[in-house]
Chain A
Amino acid sequence: MRWVKFFISLLFTAAIAIALYFPAGPAPALGDFLNPFRGFWQNAVSQAQQAPLNLSLPALDQDAKVVYDERGVPHIFANSLKDMAYIQGYVTAKDRLWQMEFQVMAAAGRLTEIVGPGPGNRVLEMDRSNRRKGIPFAAEKSSKAMLENPQTKDVMEAYTAGVNAYLQQLEEKDLPIEYKLLGYRPEEWTVYKSALLLKYMANSLAFRVNDIGYTNAIKLWGRERFNILYPEYPYDDKPIIPDPQRIRRRRIKKLSPPAPSDYDPGQMLIAGANTAPDPNEYFVGSNNWAVSGEKTITGRPMLANDPHLNMSLPSIWYEIQVNAPKFNAYGVSLPGAPGVVIGFNDSIAWGMTNAGQDVADLYQVKFTTDKREYYEYDNQTLPVSVREEVHKFKGGGQFVDTLLFTHVGPVMYDRNFGDQSIPLALNWMAHQQSNESLTFLKLGQAKNYEEYVDALTHYQCPAQNFVFADASGNIAIWQQGKYVNKWEEQGRFIMDASRKEHMWNEYIPQDQNPHVLNPPQGFVSSANQHPTSPLYPYYYTGNFDGFRGRRINKLLTEADSVSVRDMQSYQQDTYSNQAADILPTLLENLDTTSLQGEKLAAYQALKGWDYRFDRDKNGPTVYTRWWREVFFGVWEDEFRQSDISLVWPSSTTTIRILRDSALYSFYQNDKDSTRADSVIPDRIYIINQAFHRALGELIEDFPDIADWNWEKHSPTNINHLSRSIAPFSRRNISTAGTGTALNAISGSHGPSWRMVVSLGDKVEAYGIYPGGQSGNPGDPNYDRFIDDWAIGNYYKLNFMQSPQDIEEEKRLYEVSISSGPLKE
């Protein structure tokens, strides 16, 4: 009897222990997770927590110091670039380990190892896509380039060693909470992973492939209509480089296109997403500008940059100061790569916006047989090389994908991926061997224009508009990337991998990239618009947007005695050129005779509106909804097709058509049977229909007009990087602005870092980003800057000359680092 009781009790104990030991579905193993000595409670850090004041690291050459300021920004003072990078690796891992690794796992197409294949294999498909694009293959080449150059070799290896030093002493209890929740452990860091991170950025900034949609469109509608739907050059643009004649073609000549240039694969293509755009955030990009001393209150240049990216928590940026002999840079870094990406030093400041040129082209591959071992090229047959890609799943299982490589690049879409019967190989600039990290290393220590230009020569992809200003008074902007000398429209459509003249045969000399130094207008700027006017001697195409560029050009042309505050207010500017361009046409065509109640109120809100997307106004809300319905009223019946892939026309194109044409073939809606033989002209019909539909929905969503203000209507969400752990996100943040205004906050996109630098004998700089230095959701520093960011505040940046050079109340604590066996 006693034994029976014992066994029953033992059974219960074992059952509880087993329940706590094994993870149940998506939930973590509860024993590990709840145990307050090792589980999530350990991530609930004390509000007054400080790092150890003494630290010893094995690979350090000479003693060093890190001063943390009150906002948690580390200021590293080391005695060599190597030590500096080593410590940067260590402190970044300490704050952002999970994020660093997660981004790299995403780039490498390895997320299924962490979260499994996902519902409907969504995660697996994303992983496959990243591998099929050749991101890991590109990162392998890039890490090779980093290690071939002695300067970057030292720095990249030191950074890697720093991350790994942190990993070595990391105890179970201090693991970032995401590891505990998802039930996995960090791997060792490598130089290859830093390279993957840079390719992760290339993927989000320089992978926009319209080739499939354009090829279908020209086949479907013919050349004439195609040119109207997708004009190469928009109306009323202010290109980045104001005077293109400065760049004269030398050495190489413009290529003439082989006939026919719009290659026809013979059938419609399916691959590639055909998702409808939001016409109000068709293009969310970035701004940067520099104002010469003639136009500033200090008499010296000022520079501003706000890169707009998908905002997430932890933030994409990590703020840092890195100091070593002849090196003193401050700015934001990418967790996972050494140095400062956007920032300033004692002599210069620099910033970036995305260039948007098309550097990813798809080619139809003609295999000789169904076995796909050889393909045609230039009247020969070339062998296909095969790479087996194994996707391992969390909790067991795997999927093996076969990736075929041609000399053009990896076959991204084929019968196994993208429902694509025509195999399409990807030729992408990110595949080429390059060493972008050398650019950032050199920018950090550049003293003048020449050194800035020299730093840029190493930069290939993702192409950026590098704005520049120095303390001696120069301002400049270069659009830097590696570009192909393309024939007219090369790469706009699918090309033929078997034809030599379709290849990327020669490149534009780097010194002929669009650039300008000290233009007479007294400022330089970029906001993702066209880099040059059509007078630029080389052909290029891509995704550009002119609304913000025109605004900043206007503001800076009119400006005088510009102060730091003015620079900040331009970044906060909420005026939308998109609304200014189209709203008058919409209002003119609206039949107002029968409007009453809420609809009349909506009309009145628009009548008196100044096109500014301010929090308390109703105009932006009504306009945004109305414009969306107009946009879809024009295009939806043509473009929402499920069986082929198409690119929707831009807002800019839609505006031009609506303004110029009362009648237009695409206005007719063949799905709208209620309007068989109406006498109302098409444009008026679309605009009025859209107004009533938009208002109907608005009234349904927000019955009280008091809730129509922009603040309530357009909340900003900053999601956790995993996109699946909702409580780690910050949602419903009240903000002003919209995608087409300089303050381009839109949904989860927006200014991921706002920086204003005033150059001079002593640099004065301001900055803020929507996040916080800590990557730990249990730390108050996780999202500490968001509230200030949302209302447009800036922090004065503590740019220090020495470890003592900071006001006492701004110094949080200091860490002395010595060389020795690893210990905290």
Chain B
Amino acid sequence: MKFLLRTILIAVLSFIGLNFFDWWIIVIIALAVGVIMSEKRPRRLFGKKKAPAYAFLSGFMAIALVWGGMSWWLDSQNASLLSQKIFELLSGGTSSAVSPAWAMIGVTACTGGLLGGFSSMTGNLLGEAIKN
């Protein structure tokens, strides 16, 4: 539940924030949400190590969703005209297993996802460090 809530929160806030700020707003949002949603946890045997991993996952999914979704939407409106050219430019003409458009959407989603994931995890760890 909390996982879902955090994912949605990061995604929605980032979507809004990205309309006004550069990409680094993701770091601030995911980090802040990570801190806020972290909690003081008793030392339990199980689950203890999983919280930061879940924070990473939700940050990753949230931003991958926003960046992947946005780029997919723009790409489909454009019939993949530009993503093909950019893929060719960045890959230097090597072929890929998936279509150039999906490769570019994937790269975009993963790049954003990594940034969101690590930011969210950092926030979570910061929160736990403060609260404990």
Contacts and interface: CB of A to CB of B under 8 A. Distances in A.
Interface of A: 2-3, 5-6, 9-10, 12-13, 16-17, 20-21, 27, 30-32, 34-38, 40-47, 177, 181, 725-728, 777-780
B39 interface: no
Contacts of A181: 89
B78 A6 contact: no
A44 B78 contact: yes
Contact of B77 (A3, A27, A31, A44): A44
B57 interface: no
Given A16-B118, A17-B115, A46-B77, A9 B107 contact: no
Interface in B41-57: 52
A45 B114 CA distance: 27
Given A41-B70, A44-B74, A727-B85, A31 B23 contact: yes
Contacts, number: 117
A519 B19 CA distance: 66
Contacts of B121: 9, 13
Given A13-B121, A45-B78, 9 more contacts: A13-B31, A21-B24, A31-B23, A34-B108, A37-B23, A38-B22, A44-B77, A726-B89, A777-B85
A5 B89 contact: no
7 contacts: A2-B132, A6-B122, A9-B52, A41-B71, A727-B84, A727-B86, A779-B81
Interface string B63-77: 000010011001101
B85 A728 contact: yes
A35 B66 CA distance: 10
A675 to B, nearest CB: 44
B-side interface mostly? helix
Interface of B: 18-19, 22-24, 27, 31, 52, 67, 70-71, 74-75, 77-79, 81-86, 88-90, 107-108, 111-112, 114-115, 118-119, 121-122, 125-126, 128-129, 132
Contacts of B71: 36, 41
B118 A36 contact: no
Nearest to B110: A34
A38 B75 contact: no
A47 B82 CA distance: 12
B122 A13 contact: yes
Contacts of A778: 78, 81-82, 85
Nearest to B67: A36
Contact of B79 (A6, A9, A40, A47): A47
B125 A5 contact: yes
Contacts of B86: 40, 727
A34 B67 contact: yes
Contacts of A2: 125, 128-129, 132
A20 B23 contact: yes
B52 A13 contact: no
A-side interface mostly? helix
Nearest to A31: B23
A43 B119 CA distance: 28
A6 B22 CA distance: 25
A13 B74 CA distance: 28
A9 B70 contact: no
B82 A44 contact: yes
Count chain A CB atoms within 10 A of each CB in B24, B77, B81 and give the residue with the most: B81
A44 B75 contact: yes
A780 B79 CA distance: 9
Given A2-B128, A9-B125, A46-B77, A31 B24 contact: yes
B45 to A, nearest CB: 16
A20 B108 contact: no
Nearest to B124: A9
A46 B75 CA distance: 8
Contacts of A47: 77-79
A9 B74 contact: no
A20 B18 CA distance: 16
B78 A36 contact: no
B120 to A, nearest CB: 9
Contacts of A177: 82
B126 A6 contact: yes
Nearest to B19: A37
Nearest to B83: A44
Count chain B CB atoms within 10 A of each CB in A20, A41, A726 and give the residue with the most: A41
Contacts of B107: 34
A21 B115 CA distance: 12
Nearest to B126: A6
A46 B23 CA distance: 23
A44 B132 contact: no
Contacts of A779: 81
Contact of B114 (A16, A27, A46, A726): A16
A717 to B, nearest CB: 15
A720 to B, nearest CB: 10
Contact of B89 (A21, A42, A727, A780): A727
A779 B78 CA distance: 8
Given A42-B74, A726-B89, A727-B85, A3 B129 contact: yes
B69 to A, nearest CB: 9
A104 B107 CA distance: 35
Given A6-B122, A36-B70, A13 B128 contact: no
Nearest to B15: A37
Contact of A9 (B18, B27, B118): B118
Nearest to A5: B125
A6 B18 CA distance: 26
A462 B126 CA distance: 68
A30 B111 contact: yes
A35 B122 contact: no
Q: Sort A-B residue pairs by CB-CB distance and give the 3 closest, nearest first.
A: A778-B82, A44-B78, A36-B70
Nearest to B17: A37
A38 B21 CA distance: 9
Contacts of B70: 36-37, 41
A16 B115 contact: yes
A20 B122 contact: no
A120 B128 CA distance: 55
Contacts of A777: 82, 85
B82 A43 contact: yes
A559 to B, nearest CB: 43
Nearest to B89: A727
Contact of A37 (B18, B27, B119): B18
Contact of A35 (B22, B75, B78, B90): B22
A16 B129 CA distance: 22
Given A3-B129, A37-B19, A10 B122 contact: yes
B21 to A, nearest CB: 9
A9 B90 CA distance: 29
Contacts of B85: 727-728, 777-778
B24 A17 contact: yes
A290 B30 CA distance: 69
A38 B19 CA distance: 8
Nearest to A7: B125
Contacts of A725: 89
Count chain A CB atoms within 10 A of each CB in B31, B86, B119, B132 and give the residue with the most: B86
Given A3-B129, A13-B119, A44-B74, A36 B108 contact: yes
Contacts of B125: 2, 5-6, 9-10
